Structure 1
Amino acid sequence: MVHRQHGGVGSATAPTPPTSTVGSTTYYVSQTINGCEGPRAVLTVTINPLPNAPTTTNISYCQNATAAPLTASGQNLRWYTAAGGGTPSTTVTPSTSTAGSTTYYVTQTDNNSCESARTPLTVTINAAPPAPAVTNTAVSYCQNTTAQPLQATATSGNTLNWYTSQGTALGSTAPTPSTTNPGTSTYQVSQRNTSGCESDRVPITVTINALPVAPATSPASACQGGAPVSLVSRVTATGTLKWYTSPTSASLAAAPQVGTASTGSQVFYVSQTNASGCESSRAAITYTVYARPNPPAVQTPVTYCQNAVAQPLQATASPGGILNFYTQASGGVPSIELTPSTQASEIYYVSQTVNGCESSTRASITVTINALPPSPAVTTPVTYCQLAPASPLSATVTSTNTLTWYGTDGQPLTGAPTPRRALPVQFATP
């Protein structure tokens, strides 16, 4: 083979064309048979220029993020995992599972199938930070109390990111839960490092516990000098009671113990706490110590004749007072009405109760029963002759007693009767 169509020195060994220089070179080749060389054939070798290497931009991902296929400027890209050799791929998606850096290489080919030099592209996988430290992942408040911002601690240099349970970003400032409505809500917090990589999110549950209703109360009262009444007995509640001396004071260690030496009213306040430790509003309870009334006014003595029909004893109570009648000066069972016996004289007693307090002393009512006198002495029968004049009847009384005469019909007369002369008549004296 020679480099010229005519002349030159031929070589039986085919030449290897150099590719270092862009351009075309023509070679000629002939064949010799039986010592006779035939005409030369033309063979043109063209050295095409290489395309430019693609342009790349290094890229970084956070660990475990979703990566996209690598890109570079150019056409008919070929990707390699080494600077030389290897099998190309038309597309490469880097793995983000492990933190670190990996260099990929890319070329482009032109329409002549010439491949450019390889351009490196470094993919950096930045490590994700650990989740932030959260001391309390279950926070609870009572309804309508003052809540504090949620708390989490980021690693030095990192920034916290807060989210709602629906994933809505709240920024880097810790949210303060609302305590208006009972219920449960969940917040989430993560931290982001200087590489912009975010940690896993930590859930924080916030529970708002409902307040119990205020206890039901009724007024308490005692009598001066009597036994005090327990305020606890005047409260209906399902939780634990807390006692106060005013609507805004600090709680007492125990239920108040109120004496009965002095009269007057005091107002205390009581609330209840439920199993969640939430306290109700305060309910007022009034404690009143009433003075004991004086005994009722009475008229004494009351006098009856022996075996006469007696009336119930009378006394005058104070307004609102209730009378209590007794047969003894102390103790005994009271009656609201008492009718004395007329067999013998007795002393009865009466007190009055006002505002539930009974007078400390009892008024006495003396019932005097006067014995009946004996019947007057009479002469009987009294006899007259028919039509003879008659004299008024007579009877002899004891001491200073007086006579009362009655007619045959039982009705009292104004004086001693005179019998009629026509017929026999019977008169009577008591």
Structure 2
Amino acid sequence: MRIITLVKKYFSYVILLLSLFGQTDTAYSQCPTVTNATQSFCDTQSPTIADLQATNNGGGIKWYATASSTTALLSSAALQNGEDYFADDNTGTCGTRQSTVVTIYSAPLADPFQGPCVENLNDATLQDFVAIGNNIQWYSASSGGSPLPLTTVIVNGTIYYASQTNPDTGCETSRRPVRAVVGYVPTPTGDPIQNFCNVSGSPPTVADLVASGNNNWYLNSFSSVPLSLATTLINGHTYYATTIDPPCESTNRFAVLVNVYQPNNAGTNGQKGICADQIASTAPFDLFNELGGTPDNTGVWTGPIATTNGFQGTLDVSTMTLAGSPYVFTYTVSNPSCANATRTVTITINPLPVVTVTSPTVCSNTPATVSTSVNPAGTYTYVWTVPPGVTNPGNVSS
């Protein structure tokens, strides 16, 4: 019995020693301990399997792609963002493997073309850029240099670079390029009062309005739908312009008051004849009344003799002579937008005719040939003048 007892004790010691030191690596190694179930890095570190952290409990550390895979990963293999990795000892058979999930922080997310819409180029700063990440920093180069202040004024067309920081380790990622696309849309400028002519068949439209830059035009200061360029302008209405640089549009609007004028109308030409012997007895008269049609009363008269009373063109003919005839006076109507219109009134001083009777004697009821020193076309009436005591034969028509 004593021998049997001693054998049992010896066997127990052997088993204890084997359990402490391991008879083979396969059966008795200690599994490594993974204390951090999530491990993070920056893409700039180019992390590999060798960068994974676990506590070596005596049997070494090997990493596997799954909880049951039999081929250990190379220490130089690159880590993959979002993947989980499993720790085992050098034998790969220590038991249940503990895992860790890897997060690799890379350049922040950002649209490659960004920029604000501004009415003043100095208002466009780095604060207007949007990047998604942790502790975003902006640079003027893809590597090196110091972070730019967020108050830095951005220059249209320039590329800026954004990085983020790993919140767990404090490392900094690679940088995301963003090209500045600044929409410069200042408030338009121009003439606040614009005049147009309503030419028949071609009335002025919104397309005729003028303001600086590329514009949208609106019916009022708050409407949101731009007017068609073919929209006919309304006399006395105020229209509003913005500057556009799609997708940007200026916030403030430029107001333009529109005046639409009708075409100038000077009437039709007129003429008036005055006998030479009636010049002295002819009272001043208005040339405006000698025009035909319906002339505008906004014109001015010009001619060889000055007139009075503005558009009426009151004319004193007392200085006219037969030698100076004809006298041509021009009436001109103008406004800021329509073409000038001109018409004339011609004043002719007519000479007194000299009558000649070819027959030496003219008896009552006897035909006679009568001629004058002037021979204009048309029919004239002659009045006979006879000596006292001779019966007046009356009127004779040529």
Do both proteins adopt the same fold according to a TM-score greater than 0.5, normalized to the shorter chain? no
| Bigger proportion of residues as helix | 2
Bigger RCO (CA 8 Å, 6+ sep): 2
Give the greater-gyration-radius structure (CA). Answer: 1
TM-score bracket, normalised by the shorter chain, equals 0.3 to 0.5
Q: TM-score, normalised by structure 2?
A: 0.40
